[in-house]
């Protein structure tokens, strides 16, 4: 909030309550709940982007972000929508085959030693 | 679940994001989690407002959940791009105890955790230490050196927290990028060291991280066995 206590523009918050965007659903219709760092991407390049009238502005926004692989967290952060909302919307888009999951989470919880060394190297050279 | 371009998450190269890792930043209220995340994150520490449940919703799968209200949790997260296909996410745990269930989500599949300790309130990090021991997530303890706070030898802190000998304890300044970097490096080194040695490249299936190497995590090898908490509470360091 800026000083002056005026609730205007983005400080006024969203116009609709977050879960109005999901039709009130708080959990994905089906499928696994996406991990925070699950990576998703559009299944096809951009040409289908505007072909459908059943896409909401949020859907289009998400599809735009998914043109290259992106994490669920980054989508939530870029759209400023609650994570729960993003998960429902993403699940819908996955069910409609607009996007696919590239990586749900590190398989088995532990990445390979090679990847870990790469992380280490990346951190050292930051 | 439909998979799009790449079917092999483990293999590198390719376009855009390939591997994302998360590290959990835990610690008591005011230990400096937000500061630490902010010190290394390439984005401002963002807060994801998470609406847990909404009372205005008439779906029927919420049965059994009593007086539910809309609750909002702010969650700190930071992002570090390591190279063109590696991204590291830092997630700060919510401080309030009633959001403990979120810890499971944050910790699941995480690389490891940093427990940030404030020597003025060392007992604040007992729950974090207990949690990560219980779920066998590799963690380190980073002592945030607040101005004016008593300085303790990391060895004393280790004793006070009744930590396993393999758990690294380091001092840091959560405001300093270099210092935080060092903390993260220590954690990843610890994660590497605590991998089951010969099982090298075989990815563990099922529960988190397979069996630890013998002697690495005595506690973890007997999951039902917990350390008596009173001992931990009693053995706090005397002020220097």
Least confident span in A103-107, B60-64, B110-114, B125-129 = B60-64
pLDDT at residue number B158:
92
The mean of the pLDDT values for chain B is 71
pLDDT at residue number B13:
40
Out of A37, A43, A69, closest to residue B22 by CB:
A37
The mean of the pLDDT values for chain A is 81
pLDDT in tens, B28-44: 878 888 889 989 988 76
Out of A39, A110, A117, closest to residue B17 by CB:
A39
What is the SS3 assignment for A62? Answer: helix
ipTM > 0.85 for the complex: no
**Interface mutation target, options B82, B186, B200, B213, chain A, most CBs of A under 10 Å:** B82
Residue B179 or A8, more confident: B179
Please report residues of B whose CB lies closer than 8 A to that of A71: 17, 20, 87, 89
Any chain A CB within 8 A of the CB of B181?
Answer: yes
Least confident span in A78-82, B21-25, B189-193, B202-206 = B202-206
In this prediction the pTM is 0.72
pLDDT at residue number A25:
82
* Interface contact A39-B15, CB threshold 8 A: no
* pLDDT of B239 higher than 60: no
Please report residues of B whose CB lies closer than 8 A to that of A109: 108-110, 204, 207-209
What is the SS3 assignment for B83? Answer: strand
Backbone angles phi, psi at B51, to 5 degrees: -90, 120
* pLDDT of B184 higher than 90: yes
Locate the chain A residue with the closest alpha carbon to B18. Answer: A69
Any chain B CB within 8 A of the CB of A45?
Answer: no
* Interface contact A69-B15, CB threshold 8 A: yes
pLDDT at residue number A45:
62
Mean pLDDT of A97-111: 75
Q: Which residue, chain included where needed, has tokens 């993260």?
A: B184
Q: Which residues contact B190 (CB under 8 A, 6 or more apart)?
A: B112, B138, B139, B140, B166, B167, B168
In the sheet that holds A99-103, the strands lie side by side as A70-71, A39-42, A99-103
**Banded model confidence at residue A11, pLDDT cuts 50, 70, 90:** low
pLDDT at residue number A44:
73
Contact B18, B45 (CB under 8 A): no
Task: Compute the distance between CA of residue B135 and CA of residue B154 in angstroms, rounded to an integer.
Answer: 24
Any chain B CB within 8 A of the CB of A5?
Answer: no
Q: Which residue, chain included where needed, has tokens 């190297």?
A: A121
pLDDT at residue number A13:
61
Task: Compute the distance between CA of residue B80 and CA of residue A114 in angstroms, rounded to an integer.
Answer: 19
**Banded model confidence at residue A90, pLDDT cuts 50, 70, 90:** very high
pLDDT at residue number A14:
62
Task: Compute the distance between CA of residue B86 and CA of residue B18 in angstroms, rounded to an integer.
Answer: 6
pLDDT in tens, B94-141: 766 667 778 888 888 899 999 999 888 888 889 999 999 998 999 999
Mean pLDDT of A87-110: 82
Least confident span in A73-82, B70-79, B112-121, B133-142 = B70-79
pLDDT in tens, B12-30: 444 445 788 999 999 887 8
Q: What percent of chain B has pLDDT over 90?
A: 32
CA distance B55 to chain A (A): 10
Taking CA B183 as the corner, what is the angle to CA B181 and CA B189, rounded to the nearest 5 degrees? Answer: 100
**Banded model confidence at residue B10, pLDDT cuts 50, 70, 90:** very low
* Interface contact A119-B3, CB threshold 8 A: no
Task: Compute the distance between CA of residue B44 and CA of residue A3 in angstroms, rounded to an integer.
Answer: 20
Query: Which B residues 96-135 touch A at CB under 8 Å?
Result: 105-106, 108-111
* pLDDT of B233 higher than 70: no
């Amino acid at each position: 909030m800026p000083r002056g206590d005026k609730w205007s523009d983005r400080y006024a918050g969203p116009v609709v309550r977050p879960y109005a965007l999901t039709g009130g659903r708080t959990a994905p219709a089906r499928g696994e709940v996406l991990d925070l760092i699950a990576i998703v991407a559009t299944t096809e390049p951009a040409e289908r982007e505007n072909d459908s009238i059943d896409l909401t502005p949020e859907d289009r926004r998400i599809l735009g972000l998914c043109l290259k692989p992106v994490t669920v967290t980054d989508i939530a952060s870029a759209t400023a929508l609650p994570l729960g909302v993003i998960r429902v919307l993403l699940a819908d888009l996955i069910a409609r085959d607009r996007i696919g999951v590239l990586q749900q989470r590190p398989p088995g919880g532990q990445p390979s030693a090679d990847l870990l060394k790469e992380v280490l190297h990346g951190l050292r050279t930051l | 679940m439909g998979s799009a371009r790449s079917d092999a998450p483990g293999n590198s190269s390719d376009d855009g994001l390939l591997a994302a890792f998360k590290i959990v930043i835990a610690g008591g209220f005011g230990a400096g989690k937000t500061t630490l995340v902010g010190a290394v994150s390439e984005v401002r520490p963002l807060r994801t407002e998470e609406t847990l449940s909404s009372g205005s919703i008439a779906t029927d799968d919420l049965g059994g959940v009593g007086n539910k209200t809309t609750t909002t949790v702010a969650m700190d997260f930071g992002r570090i791009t390591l190279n063109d296909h590696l991204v590291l996410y830092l997630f700060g745990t919510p401080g309030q105890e009633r959001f403990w269930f979120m810890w499971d989500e944050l910790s699941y599949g995480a690389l490891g955790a940093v427990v940030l300790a404030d020597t003025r309130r060392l007992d604040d990090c007992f729950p974090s230490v207990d949690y990560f021991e219980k779920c066998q997530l590799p963690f380190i303890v980073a002592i945030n050196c607040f101005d004016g706070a008593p300085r303790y030898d990391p060895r004393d802190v280790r004793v006070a927290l009744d930590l396993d000998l393999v758990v690294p304890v380091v001092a840091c300044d959560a405001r300093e990028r270099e210092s935080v970097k060092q903390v993260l490096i220590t954690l990843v080194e610890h994660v590497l060291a605590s991998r089951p040695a010969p099982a090298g490249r075989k990815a563990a299936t099922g529960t988190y991280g397979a069996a630890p190497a013998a002697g690495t995590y005595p506690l973890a090898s007997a999951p039902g066995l917990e350390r008596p908490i009173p001992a931990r509470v009693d053995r706090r360091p005397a002020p220097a």
